[in-house]
Amino acid sequence: MTQTQPQFKPGDRFFTHYDMKWGTVVSEDTTYRDQTHGVTGSKLPDTTWYTVKYDDGKTSNLDDAHGNWDMARMVPPRIAKRFGYGDDPVTVEPVDKEVEALTEQYDHGDLDEVEQGRRDRAEFYRNRDYRDW
């Protein structure tokens, strides 16, 4: 039987349905292989346990079931999205601060044509769908 591999490394983002929270992997702890369920005797998937830090600052220990996402306590963002838990709030692109500041100045009539041009260029490059421009 082929050995499965850990699915996360320190710094990776994850979602856990156990606590309904997003967080970041701090460290890889222990990998368990060829374990059996204490009651049923069924073979359990290989799994790696991680120390994780939730976005709210709390820490926990969670496992990945080496990609058996039905058994895992944590899943990567792409799997969380597939299961309907939404997008990772940290990887959503923040609003560019320069564009935000220039837009505010423009709205207040404080920009001349040169600054308006800079704002338009910044907005163009920030816009993901260039066809709408």
Question: What's 108's DSSP letter?
Answer: T
- For 41, list phi and psi in degrees, rounded to 5: 80, 0
Nearest C-alpha neighbor of 66 from the set 43, 80, 47, 51: 47
- pLDDT tens across 84-112, in order? 999 898 875 555 666 666 666 666 666 56
| Residue boundaries of the structural domains of the chain | 13-82, 97-128
**pTM across the whole model:** 0.64
- pLDDT tens across 24-50, in order? 999 999 999 999 989 999 988 899 999
